[in-house]
Amino acid sequence: MNVYIKIEIKDREFVPRTLIAAYLAKKGHDVYVGDSELFEKYLKNKILNPGIILEKSLSPVKSKIKYLKILKKNNFKIANLDEEGGLNDPDYKYWSSERYSNETLKIADISFCWGKYDYENNKKLFPKFKKKFHISGNPRFDFHNKKNSKNKKIKKKIIIIPSTFTLTAQKRLVDEFNIYAKLRKPNLDIQREWFADARQRSIETFDLLDLIYEIKEKFNKLLIEIWVHPKENIDMWRKLIPEDNFLKYTKIKDFNSTSADKSLFVFTGSTLGMDVVLNNRLLVYYNPTKVFKGSTIPIKMSKKVKSTKSMLKIIRSFFNGKKIKQTFDMQNYIHNSKININASSIIADKIDELKSKEISVKNTFLNNNLNHLYAKNYIRLIRQKLNYKIYNAKFPPFSKSEINNVHKKIIDFNKDFKKIKIQLIGPKLIRLNKN
């Protein structure tokens, strides 16, 4: 059975979605993992054989509805795992109206939920389709159950700030709004809401910049690392505050380079906060201008600070060895926060149940899948080598070393995956199947 797994932001989704692919390949499926735009283009050109496709949202916009209808017309089964989960919005009802509708749920076959929180909300908001929702968790949290993240050997004291995309975004705010307007045709009230949100995010960025300067002044030898959001331009951050011996920028979110008693995380509300808490790191929500009035799930998990003075006091106390309590029941929101629950395995099992003889087409060079995919991606590989810039910042091209590293990571997760072959087909497409 062909299974297609879509990725929008590679830094965030590649490893966890490849883990789902590995479980499916183990079951005998022929699995393709790649750029969401690439899959949609191939689908419209009828290059892909029928199969099961794992989407990342069921947004009720015209272009998405049209696309989902094409999938159904071409005899595809549709699964969905939303990459936001509704946990980072204070108004779940409003958030869900942007991600689901009765029309899109009618077309889809199954939609996975992060935990009881979004599962129960979805059932109440879409009662006609409550049987299509299933609790799985998100595979990005599966690795937290496997690795030892205490790292007692790490001695360095460090403050880590996960940034959110605002002033340093790849797209300008006006470009973002233009895209938003084309998709949803907002009225004046919705436009004002969007502008208020953009204003809030900009103020949050300036608050963080002020805090960075304060930390550098008061703790001149304390390391600061900015974990740059995938949608941000790291070079623009370097222009705002240049790097030095004690300030670094990175797009690699590596908790293994941190320790529970030497690493303090300061954030403004992103979903990465949940990863921080699951890794047993101290998480502080910094909101000195009180620009954000609501409360999201990541914020509820954190220690709240509303002034620069209080923030500096916490930093001093923490690095002097004072233990700051942080307790939160995660399982209601993240099903696989509990040890021995693997979202990737649960999702793979449910996708496997969607298989049927009607859509089972074996891929060979004689039919319309592999020959087209290899031919088109061979040209893409040549263009990549010629440095032809055709890639967006959200999904830079795969490299062989990157594929090898991911293969090693999933084998470390489950030794059975030694039998799984990962093949680089093109700059933005890989294939997983049994050796």
Both tokens of 99, joined, read 């991600």
Residue 110 CA to residue 101 CA, distance in Å, equals 13
| Nearest Cα to Cα of residue 302 among 267, 331, 345 | 267
3-state SS assignment for residue 227: strand
| Nearest Cα to Cα of residue 229 among 217, 237, 240, 219 | 237
3-state SS assignment for residue 432: strand
Amino acid at 300: K
Residue 435 CA to residue 433 CA, distance in Å, equals 7
For the chain, give every residue range classified as CATH 3.40.50.
2-143+334-434, 149-319
Amino acid at 179: I
Give burial (CB, 10 Å; 0-12/13-18/19+) of 429: buried
CB 57 within 8 A of CB 99: yes
Q: What is the pLDDT along the chain (435 residues), one digit of tens a residue?
A: 899 999 988 888 999 999 999 999 999 999 999 988 888 888 777 777 889 999 999 999 988 999 999 999 988 999 999 988 999 888 899 899 989 999 999 999 999 999 999 999 999 999 999 999 999 999 999 988 665 444 556 678 999 999 875 655 555 555 666 655 655 566 666 667 767 777 777 788 888 889 999 999 999 889 999 998 887 888 888 888 899 999 999 988 888 889 888 999 999 888 889 999 988 899 999 988 876 667 889 999 999 998 999 999 999 999 998 888 877 888 899 999 988 899 999 999 999 999 887 777 666 555 656 666 666 666 666 666 666 555 566 788 888 889 999 999 999 999 999 999 999 888 888 999 998
| CATH T-level topology, domain 149-319 | Rossmann fold (3.40.50)
CATH number for domain 2-143+334-434, candidates 3.40.1360, 2.60.120, 3.40.630, 3.40.50: 3.40.50
Amino acid at 373: L
Give one DSSP letter per residue of 386-429, joined into a string. TT-----TTSPPP-HHHHHHHHHHHHHH-GGGGGEEEEEEETTE
Residue 17 CA to residue 39 CA, distance in Å, equals 15
| Nearest Cα to Cα of residue 302 among 88, 144, 134 | 88
Lay out the sheet containing 282-286: strands in order across: 247-250, 223-227, 158-162, 263-267, 282-286, 303-305
Both tokens of 121, joined, read 């909300």
Residue 433 CA to residue 422 CA, distance in Å, equals 7
3-state SS assignment for residue 343: helix
| Nearest Cα to Cα of residue 85 among 298, 302, 339, 283 | 298
Quick count: other Cβ atoms within 10 Å of Cβ 27?
15
